[in-house]
């Protein structure tokens, strides 16, 4: 299919293929149509470079969600519509703001919209013609710059510090690791290698190991202690 109105006209339960410039899927509440993007099935690497797939996935957007537009601030993702531009039909995302004002965003610019994470009734929407969002954004940029400078200074100071160089005995560490009930997963193995490299670098370690409950963070920490 070529456009959203054509999708709305087909029989319920149909499986369709459409070429839209989307990085995430969504569910259209009024029509109860689910749109699945390639990235939802094949991962972020299907729409971006391989390096961008090594982070936490962005939460999917649904109609009715509170969102933030990069230039216009906090609004509500209201609908997906089709308009005519220079004689051509174009799909747009409709965002609603304070006082019922609306903004139509081309789907090509969907990457400038992020989920805000709160219910519409719990927050104050921005005014499309107001200066509130611009001021808050400028203030946030200034604060980020301050934090970035502090982090750079801290990193520079840490890089000049030395620490005890620890090279764990391979045989002893292997015997210790063999007592764990399960083999290390690929992610665990990567974290273990990174921690061991830190210990043997002669520099102060500055690493945070993150993972869901039960995914083996303790085993990584115990190996570091055993080293």
Question: Over the stretch 107-158, which tens digit does the pLDDT of each residue have?
Answer: 888 888 988 876 667 788 999 887 899 999 999 999 999 999 999 999 888 8
Q: Work out the end-to-end distance of the chain between its first and last CA atoms, rounded to an integer number of angstroms.
A: 59
> How confident is the prediction for the chain on average, in pLDDT?
81
- pLDDT of 44 > 70? The answer is no
Question: Residue 26's CB: how many other CB atoms inside 10 A?
Answer: 21
Residue 98, both tokens: 């304070």
User: Percent of the chain at pLDDT above 70?
Assistant: 84
Q: Identify which has the larger pLDDT, 179 or 95.
A: 95
Answer for the pair 220, 191: CB distance below 8 angstroms, yes or no.
yes
Distance CA 215, CA 3 (A): 43
Angle between the 186-199 and 217-226 helix axes, to the nearest 10 degrees? 30
Residue with tokens 């089709």: 82
Banded model confidence at residue 21, pLDDT cuts 50, 70, 90: low
Q: Phi first, then psi: give them for residue 27, nearest 5 degrees.
A: -120, 125
Distance CA 190, CA 193 (A): 5
Distance CA 51, CA 46 (A): 12
Q: In what side-by-side order are the strands of the sheet with 73-85?
A: 102-106, 88-96, 73-85, 66-69, 113-115
Task: Give the CA-trace dihedral at 42, 46, 50, 55, to 10 degrees.
Answer: -60
Helices and strands, number each (H, E), in the chain:
6, 7
Residue with tokens 């690493």: 207
Q: Supply the pTM of this predicted model.
A: 0.49
Distance CA 180, CA 174 (A): 10
Fold of 4-122: Thrombin, subunit H (2.40.10)
- pLDDT of 198 > 60? The answer is yes
Residue 177 Cα distances to 136, 199, 225, angstroms: 51, 17, 12
**Which pLDDT does position 47 carry in this prediction?**
45
**Which pLDDT does position 22 carry in this prediction?**
58
**Which pLDDT does position 45 carry in this prediction?**
47
Indicate the range of 29-33, 160-164, 210-214 predicted with least confidence: 29-33
């Amino acid at each position: 299919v070529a456009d959203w109105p054509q999708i709305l006209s087909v029989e319920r339960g149909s499986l369709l293929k459409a070429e839209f410039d989307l990085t995430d899927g969504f569910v259209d509440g009024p029509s109860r149509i689910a749109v699945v993007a390639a990235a939802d099935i094949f991962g972020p690497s299907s729409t971006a470079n391989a390096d961008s797939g090594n982070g936490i996935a962005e939460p999917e957007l649904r109609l009715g969600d509170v969102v933030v537009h990069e230039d216009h601030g906090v609004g509500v993702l209201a609908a997906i519509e089709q308009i005519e531009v220079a004689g051509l039909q174009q799909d747009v995302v409709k965002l609603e703001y304070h006082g019922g004002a609306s903004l139509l965003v081309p789907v090509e610019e969907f990457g400038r919209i992020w989920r805000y994470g709160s219910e519409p009734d719990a927050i104050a929407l921005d005014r499309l013609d107001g200066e509130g969002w611009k001021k808050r954004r400028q203030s946030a940029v200034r604060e980020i710059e301050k934090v970035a400078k502090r982090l750079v200074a801290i990193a520079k100071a840490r890089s000049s510090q030395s620490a005890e160089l620890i090279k764990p005995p391979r045989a002893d560490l292997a015997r210790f690791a063999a007592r764990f009930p399960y083999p290390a997963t690929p992610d665990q193995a990567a974290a273990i290698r990174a921690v061991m490299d830190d210990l043997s670098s002669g520099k102060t370690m500055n690493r945070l190991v993150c993972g869901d409950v039960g995914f083996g963070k303790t085993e990584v920490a115990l190996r570091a202690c055993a080293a």
